[in-house]
Amino acid sequence: MGWVKPILLATLIISSFLVGCLSNDEGVVELKFTHTSLSGEVLESYSDGNLVSELHFTVEFDFSSSDSNYKIEYFSVGVDDGRESIDLSAKSGSVISIDFSSHGMYEVKLSAFDEKGNSDTKQVTVAVDLRIDWREEATSNPMVLQFDPNPKNGGENPKHIDVSSTVENPSFVEDFSGGQSVEFLWKITDELDDVCQWNTGEVDDGQAQTWNTLHFNTYLIHELSVDYEEGQDLINIDQTVLITYDFD
């Protein structure tokens, strides 16, 4: 029986060697990252019906803290809006920026891959609101502001729409006869031509009036209009439409 101990010892040594080999071959990638804010807004500014500026929302992901048993080859970021994923070689850097030009709730997939093909993937949600700033000056025939609450990526619809509209009847120094009051009607109308909300207004010379409201139909294209009903003075209009998502 003296030969049993050497055999057992040899078996233990071989097993330990094999376990070590297997664990080294497996490799482990640990994706670690930091990011800028995951919620923001796209801003569209209009003057007399013309789009004059547009600001997108950008999220920056930094993967520099990621780790692996082997050399990390590249990082990848994919967004569920149909665009191609962005791949970045680890030799070139560790920061990827994603630009959003449309409102919506986006699922973003983040990945790291090492030289052995091992990977680690995580997912985050990005919420992008849309803010429309609209201004018209010296008009008696205001244009219609159209907005579409349906997200282009096919994700969940917004929580609600904030509307703020100010009508101003400015005084003109050269008008020595004195201005008159202007009567008008605010309306929010959907694509089925149904009037969802409305409010009446009247502004005297040199005065302004604001209508603030929340709208909860976020599934149809809508129009915000100011109907000039009575008066002779030219008016200015400042409006903001904010399409908002519920993001915790």
Q: What is the CATH classification number for the domain harbouring 204?
A: 2.60.120.260
Q: Tell me whether residue 15 is in a domain.
A: no
Q: Tell me whether residue 138 is in a domain.
A: yes
Calculate ∠ Cα 179-181-184, nearest 5°.
140
Section 147-159 average pLDDT: 96
Domain count, the chain: 2
Cα(80)–Cα(156) distance, integer angstroms: 12
Cα(56)–Cα(213) distance, integer angstroms: 25
Residue 170, amino acid: P
In this structure, are 175 and 100 located in the same domain? no
Residue 62: pLDDT band with limits 50, 70, 90? very high
Is the pLDDT at 2 greater than 80? The verdict is no
In this structure, are 84 and 55 located in the same domain? yes
Q: Where are the alpha helices (DSSP H) in the chain?
A: 4-26
Distance of CA 177 to the CA centre of its chain: 49
Residue 248: pLDDT band with limits 50, 70, 90? low
Is the pLDDT at 173 greater than 90? The verdict is no
Q: What is the pLDDT of residue 52?
A: 99
Backbone angles phi, psi at 92, to 5 degrees: -90, -20
Q: Tell me whether residue 16 is in a domain.
A: no
Q: What is the pLDDT of residue 23?
A: 38
- Examine the fold and report which residue of 78, 95, 128 is the final residue of a domain before the chain moves on: 128
Cα(126)–Cα(104) distance, integer angstroms: 8
In this structure, are 64 and 157 located in the same domain? no
Cα(169)–Cα(167) distance, integer angstroms: 7
Identify the domain containing residue 160 by its residue range: 133-244
CA distances 23 to 13, 26, 28, 31, Å, are 16, 5, 9, 19
In this structure, are 73 and 155 located in the same domain? no
Q: pTM of the full predicted structure?
A: 0.85
Contact assessment for residue 66 and residue 24, using Cβ atoms and an 8 Å cutoff: no
Q: What is the pLDDT of residue 27?
A: 62
pLDDT digits (tens, 9 = 90+) for 102-120: 999 999 999 999 999 999 9
In this structure, are 83 and 118 located in the same domain? yes
In this structure, are 115 and 190 located in the same domain? no
Is the pLDDT at 59 greater than 70? The verdict is yes
Q: Tell me whether residue 147 is in a domain.
A: yes
In this structure, are 117 and 198 located in the same domain? no
Residue 52's nearest CA partner among 133, 112, 108, 109 is 133
Is the pLDDT at 26 greater than 80? The verdict is no
| Six-digit token string for 153 | 């990526």
- Examine the fold and report which residue of 98, 128, 158 is the final residue of a domain before the chain moves on: 128
Residue 177: pLDDT band with limits 50, 70, 90? low
Cα(129)–Cα(242) distance, integer angstroms: 7
| E-only strand ranges, 151-221 | 160-169, 182-190, 195-203, 207-215
In this structure, are 229 and 197 located in the same domain? yes
Q: Among residues of the chain, what percentage have pLDDT more than 90?
A: 82
Q: Tell me whether residue 10 is in a domain.
A: no
Q: What is the pLDDT of residue 231?
A: 87
Cα(161)–Cα(177) distance, integer angstroms: 41
Cα(213)–Cα(193) distance, integer angstroms: 19
- Examine the fold and report which residue of 128, 150, 185 is the final residue of a domain before the chain moves on: 128
- What CATH number does the domain containing 118 carry? 2.60.40.10
